[in-house]
Amino acid sequence: MMSYSKSYKFRGRPILQGSAAIYHVVSRTAFALYAFDATEKERFVRFLHKQAGFCGVQILAYCVMSNHFHLLVKVPEPCPISDAELLQRYRLLYGKSCPPSSPKPDVLEKLLQENNQEGQELRERILARMHDLAVFMRELKQRFGIWYNHRHGNKGTLWSERFRSTIVEESAEALSTVAAYIDLNPVRAKMVDDPSDYRFSSYGRAVGGERAAQVGYEAVFCQQSRWKNLLPSYNLILYGKGEEAKGTTDKDFGRIDLEKAARVLENGGRLPLWQVLRLRVRYFSEGTALGSKAFLEDLGTRWNKAYGGTRVRHAHCMQAGEWGELRAYRNLQVDAVTGPSAE
């Protein structure tokens, strides 16, 4: 049964326990001076896939920027894991090299086969690291931080905070909107004009033919279609047009007039979805939860019951954009949508 616990709440960001849940996660480096180069971004992606495979977390979308990263991940409900699968995940994470505090894979295999108290205790400790967003994020950032500091001869923390997370409803509308916002990070940062040109994102990898990334977008659209067939619908969100956008003769296919957009917002107007996603949207990092009205009302009712809360309204319309049926748990009143800078 899904529960909500203070022990699984970081800086006001709730984590659902005992139930599968999808999160948009953001984390930043400690100082603006830290900047990941191409090699470091590539290595982070490798750490990401290994850690997700070990923890049993499904990566739906991601984007690694120079001083922060975004993830859209699904954390499954805890379930029994066989010894064979546990070993497979363990080998994926560590390969042939393990930290001093962890046994080598062949030693672990022997202990599991002996099925004694030592083996069972070790098994429980490893299982406790799976199917948990907090553990997944902590170990991912620790492992990359150690590698990064070793590369640069640094000491101390690399990251400014644990992480920020927003619960996202498992619906095509909610997931595709958040995924598009993630994929447009390098466009907002003016690093590329076309998000498919950025190779440190799931969209860039998917367009480049990486099957693992394409599978993530199939999950974003709730398995409604294969990658090739869903791409026009996703491009409609990214570019405002449904045809294959890359290679188009229209050089301004992904751009918006920022002054015009500002005037629309100042006058209380709303921008089309593909345009508002090119701005900084706080709902995706500070909205607590995103989804349909029914999803948020159910979530809020559960939280009221768990805490004895009295909150009546749990779903709020979102400002500035044409968001369709998408709602936010928090009713952000100030600067819900701001300039084009990456976040």
Q: Write out residues in the chain with pLDDT < 70, as ranges.
A: 1-14, 32-34, 242-255, 340-343
Domains defined for the chain, CATH in brackets: 15-78+136-338 (3.30.70.1290), 83-129 (no CATH)
Q: Is 330:12 a contact under the CB 8 Å cutoff?
A: no
Find out whether 326 and 284 touch, Cβ atoms under 8 Å: no
d(CA 231, CA 218): 10
Which is nearest to 222 in space by CA: 49, 60, 79?
Answer: 60
Separate counts of helices (H) and strands (E) for the chain: 14, 11
What pLDDT, in 10s, does the model give residues 234-268?
999 999 875 555 544 454 556 677 777 777 877 77
Q: Tokens 């188009």 identify what position? A: 248
Token pair listed for 274: 């593909």
Cα distance between residue 246 and residue 226, in whole Å: 19
Distances (CA, A) of 81 to 87, 90, 124, 238: 10, 12, 11, 38
140 in Cβ contact with 100 (< 8 Å):
no
What's the pLDDT at 5? 44
Secondary element (H or E) of residue 317 = strand 316-317
Q: What is the pLDDT of residue 253?
A: 57
pLDDT at 157: 87
Query: Rg for the chain (alpha carbons), in Å?
Result: 21
Cα angle, residue 209 at apex, residues 274 and 69 outer, rounded to 5°: 55
Query: Residue 25 forms beta bridges with which residues?
Result: 71, 165
Q: How many CA atoms lie within 13 A of 143 on its CB side?
A: 20
Q: Return the pLDDT at 248.
A: 47
DSSP 160-200: SSS-EEEEE-SSHHHHHHHHHHHHTHHHHTTS-SSGGG-TT
Q: CA–CA separation, 47 vs 224, rounded Å?
A: 29
Per DSSP, the three-state class of 313 is coil
For 4-12, the CB contacts below 8 A with 24+ separation are 4/302, 4/303, 4/306, 4/307, 8/134, 10/134, 10/162, 10/163, 10/165, 11/161, 11/162, 11/164, 12/288
Q: pTM of the entire structure?
A: 0.90
Which is nearest to 227 in space by CA: 213, 247, 238? 213
Cα torsion at 117, 97, 134, 147 (round to 10°)? 150
Tell the burial category of 320 from Cβ atoms under 10 Å away from its Cβ (0-12, 13-18, 19+). buried
Task: State CA 126 to chain mean position distance.
Answer: 23
